[in-house]
Structure formats: C-alpha cells, structure tokens
Structure 1
Amino acid sequence: MSDTRDSSPWPRVCEKFKREFGHHAFTTWLGQLGFNGIDGGTAELTAPTKFVRDWIQRHYAPRLQDFFASEDARVKALTIRLAPKSMTGTPETAAPAETVPAEPAEAGISMRTDEGSALDPKYTFDSFVVGKSNELAYAAAKRISESDDVAFNPLFLHGGVGLGKTHLMHALAWEVKRRDPQKRVVYISAEKFMFEFIAALRFKDTHAFKQKFRAVDLLMVDDVQFIANKESTQEEFFHTFNALVDNRCQVVITADRSPTDLEGIQDRIISRLGWGLVADIHPTDYELRLGILQSKAEQTRSVPVPAEVLEFLARRITSNVRELEGALNRVLAYGTLVGRPITMDMTRDVLQDLIRANDRKLTIDEIQRTVADYFNLRLAEMLSERRARNIARPRQIAMYLSKQLTSRSLPEIGRRFGGRDHTTVMHAVRKIEDLRRDDSQLDDDLARLGRLLEG
C-alpha cells in the first residue's frame, strides 16, 4: 500500500461525508468501515458485513470516490471488501461536521436536507410554471415556505408521474433553508425511510432513527404509497407523524393518489393524512404545457426554438411534464450537436418514436380514475371484490374501455383490476358490448367517457 497513516486522506473524506450526509448517516454506515489505503489508483475500504458493504455500494460509493479523488488525484476507483473477522472496521477519528450550505452557489451544485436526500438546484419556485392544474399545490407549498405558522398540517400532494410533486418538494426545501439556514429540514423518499428504519432495527439503533426524524422543523416524505403493506414501517411512520404534528412541526407528503384511494395503508394513517390540506395536481392542459416549454426554451438560448415547434410539442406530448421537457431537450441536443436550425421537419424526425407513443397515450390508470370519478366512486371501491351493481357495472365499463382504448392484453388488464383473471375481463367486454346496443343511457355514458379520456 502506498499511503501512510500520517498522510491518509480518510479523516478528510469522513468530514466531507458528514457534511453532505449528516452525522447519523456517518455513524450508521461509514463509521463501520476501515480504510486500507490507496493501491494502483484504487481506494480500498473494508466493511464488517455484506449488508453494510452492499448498502454503501448502492447509496454512497460514487460520492465516496469523488471525496477521495478531491483529496488525492491518483484515486480513480473505489473498492469495498469484507473485513476479516479479526478486524473492527473502525475509521480514523474525524472532526465535527460543518453546517450544510443554505443555497446553491452555482448551477449544478446540489444540497442535501439535514441527513436527507439531495436537492436539485433546478427545482425552485421560480422555475415552476403555474397553471390551473397545479395552482393550489403551488400556493400551499409557497405558504409553508413563507410562514412558520400555517393553518394546515400535513400538506398532502397527489398526482401522476411527472406532474411536479417532487419539484414542489425541492422548491419548498430550498426556500425554507434560504430563509433560515438553521431550520432542520429533511426531504426523503418513503422507500429510503423504510430502508433506514430496517437498518436501525438491524443495528439496534432505533433511538437515533427516531431522533433523526422527530427532531426536525419540516419533514417531507415523497411517494408514501411505497410503504403500502409494510406494517412495521407504517407503525414507525404513524408515530413519527404524530410526534411532529403534536410539536407543531410541518409535514409534507406526496403520493400517486389521494389518501382515501391509497391501498395497503393503515386506516389511522389515511385519517391523519387527510387532517390538513389535500391538493391534487392534475394532468397539464395545453396552455400550461406551452408555458413550461416557453420557460425552458428561454433558459436554453444555445439554439433558437421556433414558436410553431413549441406549440407542436405542447399539443402532441401530453403524458407528463417530465416527458415534455425530455422531448424539448432531445430536439435542443440534436440541433446543437449537428449544427442545424430547429425546424418542424427536424422535430418530427427526432421525436418520431415519442410522438407514436403519445398517439396512444391513454393508460389503464387514467381510465380507472376517469370512470370512478364519472360514477362518483372511490377508485378503491371499483377495484375491490364488491359485486353490488352500482360498483360492478362501472368496473365492467372501465375494463371495456381499457380493452378498446389501450393496447394492453386481457391478462394485463385483469391484473390491473385487482388481480382478476382474463376471462373476467372478456366477460365484462362482451357484457358491455351487448348492453350498449339496447341501453341508450349506457351508450351515452360510454360516449361521454370517450370524450373525457380523449380530451
């Protein structure tokens, strides 16, 4: 090995880790590693167990390699080996952690909330385009960022993929930390919350886990539907939620559906999620999509984008904001790399696969939600085993429309309707086809639903 103890970069790497990920993450994970040295451009660490090694490789290895490279230019790779039974894996003592910076110093710099997940500097309130579909969610998040005492707790944001839930969470965290760098803010996905809780149980360190999540001013949990049917994690989440609300600390939660439509979540949690303000982020309309594209095009001035191209994209890419922005990025990248001006013909050529996909954009989820809303049902009711006519008929209609308006197979449609067999879907399709011939009301309902789904 080429390093000596005196010249070891390890203490400084530990300090960088603490600053970015927090002291709790350091003691739980990095604190168990040993540093062997640098050999042939590879920094070598040892872990006491396979579980610790695998966790660090999945969650921290790229940043650890960056930390080593910033301390020693020779480091081009990182390896973590299992320690022999006789090794303790205790790292050298590091200095106290420093305060997390309150805002990005330049483009491309990210911040981590206190012991939470990284924040994207692009996701701010200024870069969030507001329209009818998201104005309530935006106003609520802005209110929390501007005031220490709001009338609703928690704030529950729900909507489909790529509609701006995560953007608002990041923007909220940036603004709170900008206003008061001493505020304790944690933004974390429900998946990571679960993994950290499991690790705390494994290492008998639940006290530190509770302290981390209950000693905060603002806790934001993304995609809470992930903990469905995870009973132990739900138990801890329930008590964490209660402790924070009782202490007048703000909680913000996101999910892909409203609290009442969440399946596999305890009733007492669903009840508490509805205590505050529930804000739905709807799919974007044409005006909002065009506004988003215009805003992004103004930020990227490398290649001019004609108005007709932006209007074309706003009309044709309707699935979600993420895909919309991705389409514009592809067009911009192509124009920049090949040195050609952006035209309608070039846009159609570059995005032909995406345009084809959006020509058949309807999903089974959208059909289920639209039908449930049309018949004033909860989505969970329509997907349940109940056979009452006022529930079974809308379910059959949703199955019929899923067959008619999507390219999904009968078995796949059945799975999306509570794990039903494909023969059940086939029966529903035939039943609706037979009934609509003689039932003018049903035929009218199907026509209206078709217009709603296509519009």
Structure 2
Amino acid sequence: MSQHRTTDEGSDLARAWARVRANLRESAGVRLFDQWLKPMQLDEAGDPDRVRLTLPSAFATNWVRSHYAERLFREFRAILPDIRSVEIETAPARAGAAVVSLTAVPVAAPVVVAAPAAPASDVERPALEPRYTFDRFVVDASNKVAFNAAKQLAKPGAVRFSPLFLHAGTGQGKTHLMHAIGHAFMAAVPGARVIAMSAERFMFDFVAALRARDTFAFKMRLRSADLLLIDDLQFIAGKDATQEEFFHTVNEIMGAGKRLVISADRSPQALEGIEQRIIGRMAMGLVADIKPPSLELRRTLLDRKVADMADVRVPADVLDMLAGRITNNIRELEGALNRVIAYAQLTGETLDLDFAIATLGDVLRGSMRRVTIDEIQKRVSQHFELKPLDLISARRARAVARPRQIAMYLAKRLTTRSLPEIGRKFGGRDHSTVIHAVRRIEELRDTDADVDGAVRALMRDLEA
C-alpha cells in the first residue's frame, strides 16, 4: 500500500483534499458549500489509508455525516485508491474550554465510511443510507401502496412482481423506500448481492466501461445482482447508448426472475426522452406512486425528527407552521426544521414562532407557490424585453446570454426540475451548461447590483 503521508509524498492527501473541496463546491453550490462544507478541516495525522475530517460543532458534524459521508468517501477513493475509510468527527475542544453540544445525537464515535474488507467476501456492499429503513418510514394514505409493495418485494422467496416502479416528486420518500428494500432484503437473505445506484451513475459507469473497453465486466456486475435498485430514471433521458444497455440489463434481471426497483419523478408514461420499449418493461411490473405528503404526515414526521434530538425543544406552534407552510417536499421540510434549530442554538435566541418565520422567510415565500420553467422564461423575456424564443436559441450575445443564465438560475432555484430537464427546456443544452449558469449568477449576485436587483425583482414577480 502506498504511504501517501510519508515525507516524500506528504502533500498527496492535501492535494486530494483540495480537489475534493473544489468538486463539492461545484456540485453543492456556493451557499450550501460555505454554510456546511467549507468549515471541514483535514487531519493529516494517523494511518496512511484513513482520512479524518473534522468540523467545529456536533450539529454540523451530524449534518455532513447524514448528507455527504458516502460522497466524500467516493471522491477520495477516486483520487487515492488506497484510502480505506473516511471518518467525520467533531473537532476536540481546546484544553480547558467547555464542550458545547448543539444536538443530543451522540457524536463521540465517528461515522466511518469504509471500503469492504478484502477479500473475505466477494459480495458487493451497496451504498445504502443507514437511516432509510422501513421502521423509520412514516406511512399514511399518500404512500401506503408504495410502502406495502416495497415491503413485499423485500421478502425472500418467489418474486411476485418485478420491476417495482416508484414515482414521486423530489423529497417525497421514494429513495427512502428503495434503500429500505435493500436493507430488509440483505437482512432476510444474508450474502445476497444488492446493487444500488442512480441512473446517472449507471450512465457514468457504462461510459467509463466503454472507454476502458471493458463493458463485459460492467454487464456481469449488474446482471449478477439479486436485487438491483436504480434511482431517478429520468436522468438517462435522451442518452441512446445508455438506454440501450439499460434495456438489456432490465431484460436480463427480469428474465432471471430477480428483483428490480426503479424510481423516477413521474410515471413511466409521462417520462420524456425515454425509449418506449423501456417504458413498456416498467409497466409490466407494479407501478406505485407516492403522493405529496398530507398535513398529518408532515406533522408526524416533524414530531419524529424532534424526538430523535434529545434535549431539543421546538414549540408546537412552530411545528404546526412548518407542516402547514411547507407542503410538497419532505426533504425541504426536514431541512427547514434543522435550520431553525441550528440558528437558535448558534445565536442563543429563543426558538419561537416569530424567530422561525424570520429565519425561514425565503423558504416560506418559496413554498407558497410552485412556478414552471415556461413561466420563468416568459417573465425573464418580458423583464429584459426579449422574445421567449431568444432564451432557447443559439445566440450568444451578452444581451441574450445573461438573461438566459438568469432564467436557468431561477429554474434551478424555483422549480423541482433536474439539471438535464432544465437544459432541455433551454434549447437542448447540456446539464453542465446549467451548472455554469447557476454558479455564474450566484457569483454575480454578490458583485453586480444590477444582476442581483433583476433576480430579486423576478423572484418577487414569480412568487407573487
């Protein structure tokens, strides 16, 4: 194993960390990165095959663990293959200083995301979120069919239906159910081969296999799965070669009588840019939708979230307000709760209804009404005195390019559409173009008063 922390190579880990930070900043966006990820520090002391990252508070540590532990491990392994684990811990307090815990979730033991021990077993360990289990999924009429179908598919024995196709909007629990199936099936069938990945990861891995001229290994890996979980099918829309391989993989899994679970943000028939033969295969199994969470479900979720944080008290009227105002996205709802708790703890202010409303002003305004990309394009065109067709044209003049970037930024900020979907709505542009536009407008809002004023005016107009 290479000792990448030796004197001769002492900067390898630091260089890797710099690349990882740059990748996180690009993918997460400036604001999220600065708030949660930028404070992370690399501790270069210790074993050569272990990465240790520290954060200044327990609350921040738990947030990064929950949202970025797997991502950090994959990023480091892509640069330094010898890395076996990534540990995320709270930095120790200075000698003599009081230790203040911002949350009662235990943090003494670090979360370790590690590669499988080699080669005691050749069974692939799926990247499943530990929190996403059936017993932590809150059930009501909006998701009962999907929940029961998921539990049925996770049982050992003969497969009653496959594939299971779950569809729901962003943050409504479909990924939770998929990972719960994986956990339950591995518990029921020790040694089963379970593979979980996003459709986007399927595409990246397939393209990498093509470039390496090793598609056979890629095919055998996926088709040997006893349970294959593919999340967010909409991400391979318009990718003909990827869809060809995906179709054959689906056929092999179904033909072998194995378990297949697919998710997307809409029903199979409503998917754009997906081949009809793939849609036909999805419809052959069980299609289950998850509807937007009811008020009762949203309130129950908040109660459970607060119960998980011992010594944290949130007034009932604050929870009622959150459940009543943030209606479509469970992930956004939980994020809003985390935000008011963190702000209250960091500022020392009383967490009451007025404080919550002031802290979540932008979130609450954004949740009042959902806008479409078509509306955004129309409003931006009117604001800058352009034709709507200009925004989807190939014109690169600054008078058109800057409004187009603003429209893409607003589409990412105000809609739940994916980056590829936004790109397609702007003349078939690639998702990387959308990422560039979003980052550019975020930067200009901090330095260009005209751009910031235009964005603010358009957001007020669209949310009105």
TM-score by length of 1: 0.60
Mapped to 1, the partners of 2:212 and 2:14 lie a distance apart of 20
2:8 matched to which residue of 1?
A: 39
Aligned counterpart for 1:350 among listed residues 359, 368, 372: 359
Per-residue CA deviation, residues 154-212 of structure 1 (Å, 9 max, x unaligned), is: 00001111111111111111222223330100000111111111111111111101110
The answer to whether the 8 Å contact 1:119/1:170 transfers is yes
- Say whether residues 1:363 and 2:339 are aligned partners: no
Per-residue CA deviation, residues 25-66 of structure 1 (Å, 9 max, x unaligned), is: xxxxxxxxxx796536323799xxxxxxx99x969xx9xx99
SS of aligned partner of 1:208? helix
1:172 matched to which residue of 2?
A: 181
The answer to whether the 8 Å contact 1:146/1:176 transfers is yes
Mapped to 1, the partners of 2:257 and 2:218 lie a distance apart of 20
Q: How far does residue 419 in structure 1 lie from its aligned partner after superposition?
A: 6.6
1:154 matched to which residue of 2?
A: 163
Q: How far does residue 283 in structure 1 lie from its aligned partner after superposition?
A: 1.0
2:283 matched to which residue of 1?
A: 274
Question: Which structure: larger Rg?
Answer: 1
Q: How far does residue 351 in structure 1 lie from its aligned partner after superposition?
A: 1.1
Aligned counterpart for 1:242 among listed residues 251, 256, 274: 251
- Say whether residues 1:321 and 2:321 are aligned partners: no
Q: Which amino acid counterpart does residue 141 of structure 2 have in structure 1? A: K
Aligned counterpart for 2:48 among listed residues 69, 72, 96: 72
Aligned counterpart for 2:317 among listed residues 308, 332, 339: 308
Per-residue CA deviation, residues 370-426 of structure 1 (Å, 9 max, x unaligned), is: xxxxxxxxxxxxxxxxxxxxxxxxxxxxxxxxxxxx99xxxxxx9998979xxxxxx
Q: What number of residue pairs does the alignment pair up? A: 315
The answer to whether the 8 Å contact 1:129/1:288 transfers is yes
Mapped to 2, the partners of 1:40 and 1:70 lie a distance apart of 15
1:199 matched to which residue of 2?
A: 208
Q: How well do the aligned residues superpose, as a CA RMSD in angstroms?
A: 4.2
Mapped to 2, the partners of 1:203 and 1:299 lie a distance apart of 46
Structure 1 gaps, min length 5? 1-7, 11-34, 47-53, 83-88, 96-105, 368-405, 408-413, 421-455
SS of aligned partner of 2:229? strand
State the percentage of identical aligned residues: 44
- Say whether residues 1:139 and 2:139 are aligned partners: no
Q: Which amino acid counterpart does residue 151 of structure 1 have in structure 2? A: R
Q: Which amino acid counterpart does residue 175 of structure 2 have in structure 1? A: T
CA, structure 1 residues 417+213, in 2 after alignment: closer, same or farther (shift >3 Å)?
closer
The aligned runs of 1:196-235 (5 Å cut-off) are 196-235=205-244
Mapped to 2, the partners of 1:309 and 1:128 lie a distance apart of 22
Q: How far does residue 337 in structure 1 lie from its aligned partner after superposition?
A: 2.4
CA, structure 1 residues 178+70, in 2 after alignment: closer, same or farther (shift >3 Å)?
farther
Mapped to 1, the partners of 2:306 and 2:137 lie a distance apart of 14
Q: How far does residue 73 in structure 1 lie from its aligned partner after superposition?
A: 9.2
Mapped to 1, the partners of 2:354 and 2:5 lie a distance apart of 58
Mapped to 2, the partners of 1:293 and 1:117 lie a distance apart of 29
Mapped to 2, the partners of 1:132 and 1:333 lie a distance apart of 32
Q: Which amino acid counterpart does residue 345 of structure 1 have in structure 2? A: D
Mapped to 1, the partners of 2:50 and 2:321 lie a distance apart of 50
CA, structure 1 residues 112+165, in 2 after alignment: closer, same or farther (shift >3 Å)?
farther
The answer to whether the 8 Å contact 1:158/1:256 transfers is yes
Aligned counterpart for 2:345 among listed residues 336, 346, 355: 336
Per-residue CA deviation, residues 275-315 of structure 1 (Å, 9 max, x unaligned), is: 11001111111111111111111111232112221111100
Q: Which amino acid counterpart does residue 333 of structure 2 have in structure 1? A: L
Mapped to 1, the partners of 2:190 and 2:43 lie a distance apart of 24
Q: How far does residue 341 in structure 1 lie from its aligned partner after superposition?
A: 3.7
Q: How far does residue 67 in structure 1 lie from its aligned partner after superposition?
A: 12
The answer to whether the 8 Å contact 1:156/1:254 transfers is yes
Q: How far does residue 123 in structure 1 lie from its aligned partner after superposition?
A: 1.5
Mapped to 2, the partners of 1:302 and 1:9 lie a distance apart of 45
Mapped to 2, the partners of 1:80 and 1:219 lie a distance apart of 23
CA, structure 1 residues 142+192, in 2 after alignment: closer, same or farther (shift >3 Å)?
same
Per-residue CA deviation, residues 207-258 of structure 1 (Å, 9 max, x unaligned), is: 1011100001000001111111111111111111111111111000001111
Mapped to 2, the partners of 1:221 and 1:331 lie a distance apart of 34
SS of aligned partner of 1:186? strand
Mapped to 2, the partners of 1:265 and 1:187 lie a distance apart of 21
Structure 2 gaps, min length 5? 25-36, 54-74, 85-108, 117-122, 376-413, 416-421, 429-464
Q: How far does residue 339 in structure 1 lie from its aligned partner after superposition?
A: 3.5
The aligned runs of 1:182-197 (5 Å cut-off) are 182-197=191-206
SS of aligned partner of 2:12? strand
